[in-house]
Chains A and B, each alone.
Chain A
Amino acid sequence: MSYTIEGATGAWEVVIGLEVHAQVTSKAKLFSGAATEFGAEPNSQVSFIDAGFPGMLPVINGECVAQAVRTGLGLNAQVNLWSRFDRKNYFYADLPQGYQISQYEFPIIGKGEIEIELADGSTKNIGITRLHLEQDAGKSLHDQHATKSYIDLNRSGVALMEIVSEPDLRSPEEAGAYLTKLRQILRYLGTCDGNMEQGSLRADVNVSVRKAGEEFRTRCEVKNVNSIRFVMQAVEAEARRQVEVWEAGEEVVQETRLFDTSRGVTRSMRSKEDAHDYRYFPDPDLPPLVLEQSWVEQLKAGLPELPDARRARYVGDYGLTPYDAHVLTLEKETAAFYETVAAGRDPKMAANWVTGDFFAGLNRTGHSIGDSPVSAENLGGLLDLIKDGTLSGKLAKEVLEAMFETGEPPAAIVEERGLKQVTDTGAIEAMIDEVMAKNADKVAEYRSGKDKLFGFFVGQTMKAMQGKGNPALVNDLLKRKLA
């Protein structure tokens, strides 16, 4: 059943479109040679161009253009070989030039489409309207002084991709899944680091509600939401507010709102009340951006495998379940880790270990895949020790725990702790003989038909061998001796 909000007058459908601002991964800014690193001293990564000084002129960073094209290709979108930069004029303290250089009429990337996965296993295609390049503004700090706002221009001029979706999303879950998928694609492509805490990825959420079968009603834009969870919460809060407004017999007013994360509600943005007239016009400092088809082809050939393709390969070639394939491809780093573990080994076994004990170990020790004490090579080595009979599954779990603690390779731990499985039939037989001698009464009972006692002998033998006996051999030999 599709998502609706129950109002007093019945069910309301929610219509959502997202405008995502993704910071382009590049060393230098879009139109200046200043650095883009996060967290620098205020105004230390600012050129006179970024600060809008008299006579300063923009020159475009080719890598930012390449990143936008790569992203467009990753979103299955049209790459426009002719695009143009326009000026969006407005006054704000952290907008030094008095205009933002953006692409209004002719964006570099046109229509595209991505597939999102929902919790029930279904998928849905979401249209991409466009992607364009633009400069970021600086940062205003309003809480440092009683009567002043402070301005840091380090972000001013950093390249952003604005990625606009069609109003195809119908629930908070779909909005969350879309953002998750978009972030995943950007991270796979290496065109945006997707770091939402640092503001590398932020979303403006357009929300409206309607009764089934109606045309779109008035939408509101919730600005600058900086986590996937907040996007989902903001959609719900804003949709509920609009339902209340309509049901009270009032009109929803088209406006810009902010999501108050502590109270879980949206509120009107006072600073944006002044209706904007951005006076867009082509930036006369920048001739049109003209791309060669051959250059686009070259970028296309250099694209990494994207999550959808990788997931399909895991299911098709490796025989993984769609769920495991999904989990393993969520993050580019996880997939790379998995592939190292699976290389030359049983891919299903590798998937079980990565998604099972390995993930559990990361959780338990508070690590992420990037700083995991257990390398993919070492986890692979552990699998090899299981395969060649050195370790039982149970012992292997123990070894993995030790690997999380010490970071050492499995062979070293096995050696050090004497965890090596005993496969010497003579030694096992000797131990079985000892156990049978100590429990002559139970042997007699077993032989008289009490089959259930077999487990007892297995347990006693393994206990005597401190768990190191090869379980299959123990079983075989016991059966033979007890017969």
Chain B
Amino acid sequence: MDSIFDLTLAEARDLLVKRDLSAVELTRTYLSAVEALNPRINAYITVTAEAALEQAKAAEAALAKGEAKPLTGIPLAIKDLFCTTGIRTTAASKILGNFVPPYESTVTANLLRDGAVFLGKANLDEFAMGSSNATSAFGGVENPWKRQNSDAALVPGGSSGGSAAAVAARMALGATATDTGGSIRQPAAFCGIAGIKPTYGRVSRFGTVAFASSLDQAGPVARTVEDCAILLGSMSGFDPKDSTSADMPVPDFAAACKRGVKGLRIGIPKEYRLPGMPAEIEALWQQGIAWLKEAGAETVDISLPHTQYALPTYYIVAPAEASSNLARYDGVRFGLREDGVDLKDLYERTRRAGFGEEVRRRIMIGTYVLSAGYYDAYYLKAQKIRTLIKRDFDEAWGKVDAILTPATPSAAFGRDEKRDDPVAMYLNDVFTVTANLAGIPGLSVPAGLDAQGLPLGLQVLGKSFDEETVFAVGRAIEQAAKFTATPALKAAA
């Protein structure tokens, strides 16, 4: 073993179970990386070092007794959108103030049940609204990757930028994330790691701060496809506390990674070839097609005709739901309060001071599209187009088993770029947002570097509740791509 940081989650797990690696040592090592790198990368809002060491000791004891569970002793970062009992949960917003939840989200409860160690709460765009992590009230996250011969700070993507940066820089072995329009897959691609948004209903939303309820899904980010499969296995499962949780068995996702792609039909949707898309992205996509063919898959040209409408549809549905979901942040029962002359004034001052600019902007858009006289033209129209987008996929599944697309239209960009034009920023999610609207799973796999040395990802989309095929295809790309590059900023032993 060159360095403890080179271990994947699966490898670390094997060593822990064989007692060739101490859980306490593993956590201590990762905590030292957090201590060294977090002041610069800002991937964590809250670091829970003491609690992590306690958990690691408990894991050590369990391992000594031969009572290993799927994640015993594995140090993870938890996106600060998942409520954690007794640990401040901020959603990267001032409005939650020093909110300390007296309850645990189902996702984190499942991970704790399986023995995981939590290093801390990862940074994100405020309320998960953003594609660059620039909207966090706790400061932006710096992408650990650098352009060649440049030290300029790049964005890690968003909203799960802290989670992705932490994993890329070896400040965690894996992390939880959430994806409403691409918030797992886009930062995973920008940070050169893997990340999957599972099928809507696969992972419980209970205890996760809501952004847009019909689109939000939690999932993992990790360095390999197999690591994602292991984490998703623990995060998933039916939850009676979430009415949208699917009462379905959780398959062995890790086993599915090894299936191979022989005989699979992979759809290549022509609508994902955007005008003005960088040649490198197109080239990477063609490379992906070639890899899958070599591995025994067949590729099929398909059409998803309503793709171009997905993003504007998303920017009606998501803000509308958010405007309602975020109404509870009113300064009455928890979180920030700014006093006012009366109740309305209190609300207006609290929400003005507590929400950042992008969140306020989206609440306003959402409020407007739901308001009297505009509902049919905007919200109802968007819901109908959502049906058409889903129908496009349903028709495609008659011809193909999975779909391959680029993950993002560009590599990571600089912190100061795209700041002034909200719509330009929204276009980051152009390839990822369709999966949220249709409720299907999507995986981002690191597949190559651009000319400036920045990672680029490919996206695999699959049928509802068929994450297994998605993992098999993702693993095949990963094997062919042999992506071994590492970021400029990373922990080293």
Which residues on A are within 8 Å of B, measured CB to CB? 48, 51-60, 87, 89, 91, 93, 96-99, 149, 151, 277, 279-281, 284-287
Contacts and interface: CB of A to CB of B under 8 A. Distances in A.
Contacts of A279: 323-324, 367, 370-372, 375
A54 B205 contact: no
Given A91-B327, A279-B324, A281-B379, 4 more contacts: A59-B241, A59-B243, A87-B324, A279-B375
A397 B27 CA distance: 88
A243 to B, nearest CB: 31
Nearest to B321: A284
Interface string B181-207: 000000000000000000000000111
B96 interface: yes
26 contacts: A53-B103, A53-B328, A53-B334, A54-B83, A54-B96, A54-B334, A55-B83, A55-B101, A55-B206, A55-B207, A57-B242, A89-B370, A91-B327, A93-B343, A97-B328, A98-B324, A98-B330, A99-B327, A151-B332, A279-B371, A281-B320, A281-B321, A281-B370, A285-B213, A286-B243, A287-B243
Interface of B: 82-83, 89, 91, 96, 99, 101-103, 105, 205-210, 212-214, 240-244, 320-321, 323-324, 326-328, 330, 332-334, 343-344, 347, 367, 370-372, 375, 379
Nearest to A85: B243
A89 B324 contact: yes
A166 to B, nearest CB: 24
A96 B323 CA distance: 15
A279 B105 CA distance: 29
Nearest to B373: A277
A56 B379 CA distance: 24
A363 B326 CA distance: 56
A87 B205 CA distance: 18
Nearest to B348: A91
**Ordered nearest first, which 7 A-B pairs have the shortest CB separation?**
A98-B327, A284-B214, A279-B370, A284-B213, A52-B328, A55-B207, A54-B209
A286 B205 CA distance: 12
B324 A57 contact: no
A97 B333 CA distance: 10
A138 to B, nearest CB: 10
A58 B334 CA distance: 19
Given A89-B370, A91-B330, A98-B328, A57 B205 contact: yes
A209 to B, nearest CB: 28
A151 B367 CA distance: 26
A57 B328 contact: no
Nearest to A51: B333
Given A97-B327, A284-B212, A284-B213, A52 B333 contact: yes
Which DSSP category, helix, strand, loop or mixed, fits chain A's interface?
loop
B244 A54 contact: no
A87 B371 CA distance: 13
A158 to B, nearest CB: 18
Contacts of B101: 53-55
Nearest to A92: B343
A144 B355 CA distance: 32
Nearest to A94: B332
A91 B89 CA distance: 24
Nearest to B327: A98
Contacts of A55: 82-83, 101, 105, 205-210
Contacts of A89: 323-324, 327, 370
Contacts of B333: 51-53, 96
A58 B326 CA distance: 16
Given A89-B370, A281-B370, A284-B214, A54 B328 contact: yes
Contacts of A277: 371-372
Contacts of B328: 52-54, 96-98
Contacts of B214: 284
A284 B210 CA distance: 11
Contacts of B91: 54
A96 B330 CA distance: 9
Contacts of A52: 328, 333
Nearest to A90: B327
A404 B205 CA distance: 61
B247 to A, nearest CB: 12
Contacts of A87: 324
A287 B98 CA distance: 33
Nearest to B333: A51
Contacts of A280: 370, 375
B460 to A, nearest CB: 26
Contact of A48 (B102, B205, B327, B372): B102
Contacts of B105: 55
B332 A96 contact: yes
Contacts of A60: 243
A91 B320 CA distance: 16
A343 B474 CA distance: 77
A281 B327 CA distance: 14
A112 B173 CA distance: 61
B208, B333, B375: residue with the most chain A Cβ atoms closer than 10 Å: B333
Nearest to A87: B324
Contacts of B347: 91
Contact of A287 (B244, B344, B371): B244
A87 to B, nearest CB: 5
A357 to B, nearest CB: 56
Contacts of A54: 83, 89, 91, 96, 99, 101, 209-210, 328, 334
Which of A55, A280, A284, A285 gathers the greatest number of chain B CB atoms within 10 Å?
Answer: A55
Contacts of B96: 54
Contacts of B326: 98
Which of A54, A55, A60 has the most chain B CB within a 10 Å cutoff? A54
Nearest to B127: A54
A98 B210 CA distance: 14
Contacts of A98: 324, 326-328, 330
B243 A58 contact: yes
B109 to A, nearest CB: 12
